[in-house]
Amino acid sequence: MTRQTTTPPELTDRAALVRNRARVTNAQMPFLHQIAREELEYRLQLVNRRFTAPALVTGLPALWGDFLPGARVVADDPVLDLQEGAHDLVVHVMALHWASDPVGQIVQARRALKADGLFLAVMFGGQTLAELRSAMAQAEIDLTGGLSPRILPMTEIRDAGALLQRAGLALPVADASCQNVAYRSLQSLFADLRAMGEGNALAARRRSLTLPALFRRAAQHYAAHHADAEGRLLASFELIFLTGWAPDASQPQPLRPGSASARLADALGARETPLPDQVKIPRKD
């Protein structure tokens, strides 16, 4: 009997994603990308190393192409155009949340690294647009009695570190920064999303034209549940930063259990009370 394997459905409509990104210009860096850029620059400054063969993975070269001078800039295609072991630094910017296979993207980045090379990434996380997701879902239930995919499902911070571990990177670290933004209207929020190339590019999205009534109802729900005292609509954006290293023997390694050469009691200046050889456990009748 032949065993059949099923290919998981694609999360992203790549053609739609490319179209959305093509509308982004470098006229003005979107403020969330500017925050991400400054955070990545800060992290690189903390690493006491000079990188001579960097690579940058991005779907928005108009915004990020100059981030690493002299870097090889490649698109976040399902197969990255990177040579194995060619780089000492790979930075993956604002694209992993659109990857149908984020672990596969990180694995390819790891393979492109030399031993002890650094991987850095920033992407939108699971708390992003939580308010919009709720308002749109409720509006659609009200008007149609059902739901359709409108906002990308994104990785939660509790799962982000596991992506690095599954990809085989050493010393993995995942941390997040949440930005809370106030908008005058739903249209202002949508304009910011378009400026970042973050329109709906889900493969399973509904292709028919969205009725204006849906947006009006969503705006009502948004204003009722997620507005400040001045009536501005509040939106959350979570930026998740990933850091990992290509494995190398020179990196710190965990000690074997029982191999410590000093006692904790000595370090704390405390008196150690040894346990008796035999401990009697009270019986419960």
CATH number for the domain spanning 171: value is 3.40.50.150
Q: Identify the band that residue 155 occupies on the pLDDT scale cut at 50, 70 and 90.
A: very high
pLDDT surpasses 60 at 115: yes
pLDDT surpasses 70 at 175: yes
Taking residue 62's Cβ as centre, other Cβ atoms within 10 Å add up to: 15
Regarding beta strands 72-74 and 113-124, do their DSSP bridges make them parallel or antiparallel, or are they unpaired? unpaired
Mean pLDDT confidence for 203-232: 90
pLDDT tens, position by position, 251-282: 777 656 555 566 555 655 556 555 555 545 45
Residue 67 lies in a domain: yes
pLDDT surpasses 90 at 38: yes
Residue 233 lies in a domain: yes
Domain containing 232 equals 14-249
* Paired tokens of 273: 């009370």
Q: Identify the band that residue 249 occupies on the pLDDT scale cut at 50, 70 and 90.
A: confident
- The count of domains in the chain is 1
**Averaged pLDDT of the chain:** 88
Mean pLDDT confidence for 238-256: 85
pLDDT tens, position by position, 3-21: 554 556 788 899 999 999 9
pLDDT surpasses 90 at 209: no
pLDDT at 266: 64
Residue 8 lies in a domain: no
Residues 146, 140 contacting (CB under 8 angstroms): yes
Residue 278 lies in a domain: no
Residue 275 lies in a domain: no
Angle between helices 157-166 and 102-112 in degrees, nearest 10 = 50
CA distance 170 to 172: 6
- What are the C-alpha distances in Å from 180 to residues 47, 93, 116, 128, 133? 29, 21, 36, 10, 15
Residue 52 lies in a domain: yes
pLDDT at 139: 93
Coil, helix or strand at residue 89: strand
DSSP 8-state class, residue 98: G
What lies within 8 Å, CB to CB, of 21 at 6+ separation is 59, 60, 197
Residue 269 lies in a domain: no
* Paired tokens of 268: 């704390």
Residue 190 lies in a domain: yes
Instruction: Give residue for tokens 């197969």.
Output: 79
| Closest to 178 measured CA to CA, from 238, 94, 122, 241 | 238
Of 272 and 149, the structure prediction assigns the larger pLDDT to 149
**Does an H or E element contain 240, and which?**
strand 233-245
